[in-house]
Amino acid sequence: MIPINFARIHEDAIDVHALMSHQFVNVPATQSPDQVTMLEEEKIMAYFGAGLLYAEPNRQEPIV
């Protein structure tokens, strides 16, 4: 599951710049495949949001 605001949808691909490919394994899971609770949604959004800041070592350094 990818929050739509973290995805760039093209005709032939979907780009996600928030995470690296190996980090998708750790995306928080939902208890039910048919329903997402508010808490689960918050956890998923937080995971992708943190990826924008910390997914790569070069993102963790200050911009000077």
We report the CATH number of the domain holding residue 37 as 3.90.50.10
Q: Is residue 49 domain-resident?
A: yes
Number of domains in the chain: 1
What does the chain look like in DSSP terms, one character per residue? ---GGG-EE-SS-EE--SS-GGGGGGSPPPSBTTB--HHHHHHHHHHHHHHHHHSSGGGSSPP-
pLDDT confidence of residue 47: 93
Q: Encoding tokens for residue 22?
A: 């190996």
Distance of CA 45 to CAs 2, 15, 30, 52, Å?
8, 16, 13, 11
Band (pLDDT 50/70/90 cuts) for residue 57 is confident
Q: Is residue 64 domain-resident?
A: no
Q: Is the pLDDT of residue 55 over 90?
A: no
> pLDDT tens across 5-45, in order?
999 999 999 999 899 999 999 999 999 999 999 999 999 99
pLDDT confidence of residue 58: 78
Q: For residue 49, count other CB atoms closer than 10 A to its CB.
A: 14
